[in-house]
């Protein structure tokens, strides 16, 4: 059945380069120009956010692109206010494309008298009129259950698998995928299955939040090229210490594949001085200049997979098909040629 509306993109200020890249990819996929809806998002003198949409969006299928990264509160409020503006402008459907879902670490009560902020954010998004969520690598899978609307959670591991196969051709029998903690085993196992590599675990014990007292390696990493896999890297303290421990246990090289490069505070300096050969992150969070300049940090694009996911949602086809290498490889063939 032919579509009655066109997919329309609108973006906040959190990650405009990614939004523009998604628009370019959609133009390439469809052969029809897709641009960002003209709008302004500005602040009054007291930092109050104001949004004005300059194009008619009545009856349109709107995709609102905005990560809730640093500054998390400002970007979250932009997202909510833009959603309200679209709803009051009679948009037919509003899908929030949130490459990095902030507050996801607060997904449960770890001690008495603490909030479950991820659930609060979910309520706010639905209350603002958002009818569907498209995101990548939620910190905890159960966050999908906080919503009473559809949530499509894309994964970075299929993209990372393509990157590993491309970068380490001829050395795949030396690979070892490493989970930086017991809680991340499922995520690490997913990449290990895709590249047919064994799995190891770094078991860490914390004295208090943010401080790791002891680390032990479960599995034989001697002579292996170790790939640490996690969903986010904040200050990089634990990541760099895990790299040191793996090298002490005889690892040949240590690389890290992290979905969301939060990289706050001393993170970039720690990574550049660490024993890690490389840290690979996605552009779900707009990289800062120090991140771009770091010699051992690489960024892989997510625009191809987000563009295709948006088109699949718009035309009513499967989003989960993008988890398969056969479907994803053609989308990334210009970046990773020669992989079948």
pTM exceeds 0.85: yes
**What's the pLDDT at 1?**
37
What would the two tokens of residue 122 be? 């979910």
Q: Tell me what the pLDDT averaged over the chain comes to.
A: 93
How far apart (Å, rounded) are the C-alpha atoms in residues 11 and 309? 16
pLDDT tens digits for 186-211?
Answer: 999 999 999 999 999 998 766 555 55
Per-residue pLDDT, averaged over 309-326, amounts to 94
**What's the pLDDT at 204?**
74
pLDDT tens digits for 255-290?
Answer: 999 999 999 999 999 999 999 999 999 999 999 999
How far apart (Å, rounded) are the C-alpha atoms in residues 156 and 299? 12
pLDDT tens digits for 95-110?
Answer: 999 999 999 999 999 8
Share of the chain above pLDDT 70, in %: 96
**What's the pLDDT at 5?**
77
Which of the following is catalytic: 8, 111, 193, 204?
A: 204
Q: What is the DSSP string of 11-26?
A: E-SS-HHHHHHHHHHH
Distance (Å) of CA 95 to CA 76, 134, 145, 210, 299: 15, 7, 17, 35, 26
Check if 8 is active-site: no
Please tell me whether residue 97 adopts helix, strand or coil conformation: strand
């Amino acid at each position: 059945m032919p579509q009655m509306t066109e997919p329309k993109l609108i973006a906040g200020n959190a990650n405009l380069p990614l939004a523009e890249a998604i628009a370019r990819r959609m133009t390439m996929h469809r052969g029809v120009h897709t641009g960002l809806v003209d709008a302004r998002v500005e602040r009054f003198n007291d930092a109050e956010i104001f949004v004005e949409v300059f194009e008619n969006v009545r009856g349109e299928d709107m995709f609102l692109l905005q990560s809730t990264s640093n500054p998390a509160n400002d970007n979250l409020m932009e997202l909510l206010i833009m959603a309200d503006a679209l709803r009051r402008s009679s948009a037919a459907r509003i899908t929030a494309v949130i490459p990095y879902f902030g507050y996801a670490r607060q997904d449960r009560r770890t001690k008495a008298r603490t909030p479950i902020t991820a659930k609060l954010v979910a309520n706010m998004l639905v209350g603002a009129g958002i009818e569907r969520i498209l995101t990548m690598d939620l910190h905890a899978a159960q966050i999908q259950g906080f919503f009473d609307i559809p949530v499509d959670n894309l994964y970075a591991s299929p993209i990372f698998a393509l990157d590993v196969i491309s970068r380490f051709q001829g050395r795949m029998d030396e690979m070892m995928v490493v989970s930086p903690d017991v809680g991340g085993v499922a995520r690490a196992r997913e990449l290990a299955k895709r590249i047919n590599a064994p799995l190891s675990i770094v078991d860490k014990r914390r004295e208090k939040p943010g401080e790791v007292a002891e680390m032990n390696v479960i599995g034989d990493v001697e002579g292996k090229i170790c790939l640490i896999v996690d969903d986010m890297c904040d200050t990089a303290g634990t990541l760099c210490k895990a790299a040191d421990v793996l090298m002490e246990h005889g690892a040949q090289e240590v690389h890290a594949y992290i979905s969301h490069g939060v990289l706050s505070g001393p993170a970039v300096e720690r990574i550049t001085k660490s024993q890690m050969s490389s840290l690979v992150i996605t552009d779900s969070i707009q990289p800062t200049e120090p991140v771009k300049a770091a010699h051992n940090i690489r960024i892989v694009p997510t625009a191809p997979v987000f563009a295709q996911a948006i088109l699949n949602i718009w035309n009513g086809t499967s989003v989960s098909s993008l988890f398969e290498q056969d479907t994803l490889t053609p989308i990334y063939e210009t970046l990773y040629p020669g992989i079948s």
